Structure 1
Amino acid sequence: MREPSASLQNIVRQASEEGLSRETLYHLIEKATEEGAVRALSDLGLQDRNAQGDLSELRALLDSWRETRKTVRQIIIKWIIKIFLTGLIFGLAVKMKLLHLGQAF
């Protein structure tokens, strides 16, 4: 069992002074926290044997989502840069009269 926090030690000291042994109180607290953790996992739907696999899948899905978002952002930035450079080259070609626009045939 790991070292309890200072506030928990104070509660145990107070309960001990009122008649409970420290070991009994620590055991009670440990069991209560275990049951609380089981209840919390159950409320989240993670109480079965597949819970660890489900969490691993969710983490993998989240990692994939983050990677996809990053890739989409990079693609959008590349397209914006390409469009800007294409416009710049097109503008320079018109300015340098390499490309004639608006003239009648």
Structure 2
Amino acid sequence: MSGGNSSGGAVLAQLMAQAAERGAELVTLRAIAEEAGELGATRALTRLGLADERAARDMAELRELLAAWRDAKRSAWKSVFGWLCALLLAVLAVKLGFAEFVK
């Protein structure tokens, strides 16, 4: 309903006064709840520094970075696992005497 922080507060105050005058009709209470939720969300985003035009782009970039980090981490673990398997096979080959068999 509202676009900004201060206008949201004014609209919310107006809706609350209207509810008090009219005996709090259901439609009015729903509008109050909607305005209160939007006002709270706007305040939270503002406190987090995510209320400007760049926020959506910044969040998209952060998601891309996080996805890249997860991919890199997954690849690193696969690499470590591969090297450990190769090392284990080499140790087994030496223990079982396959090194002499190859000579």
> Partner letter of residue 75 of structure 2?
T
- Per the alignment, residue 29 of structure 2 pairs with 25
Corresponding position: 1:93 with 2:77? no
Q: Distance in 2 between matches of 1:97 and 1:63?
A: 45
RMSD: 2.5
The answer on 1:63 being equivalent to 2:67 is yes
Map of 1:77 onto structure 2? 81
Q: Which has a greater percent of helix?
A: 2
Q: Structure 1 residues 85, 35: CA separation in 2 closer, same or farther (over 3 Å shift)?
A: same
Which structure 2 residues correspond to residues 30-41 of structure 1 after superposition, within 5 A? Answer: 30-41=34-45
TM-score by length of 1: 0.66
* Larger RCO, structure (CA 8 Å, separation 6 or more): 2
Aligned residues: 83
Q: Which residue does 2:55 correspond to in 1?
A: 51
Q: TM (normalized to structure 2)? A: 0.67
After the TM superposition, list the runs of 4 or more consecutive aligned residues in structure 1 that deviate by more than 4 angstroms.
94-98
Larger radius of gyration: 1
Q: Which amino acid aligns with 2:98?
A: A
Shift of the alpha carbon at 1:19? 1.3
SS at match of 1:41: helix
Aligned to 2:75, the other structure's residue is in SS state helix
User: For 2:102 and 2:76, how far apart are their aligned partners in 1?
Assistant: 37
Aligned position for 1:3: none
How much has 1:44 moved relative to structure 2? 1.6
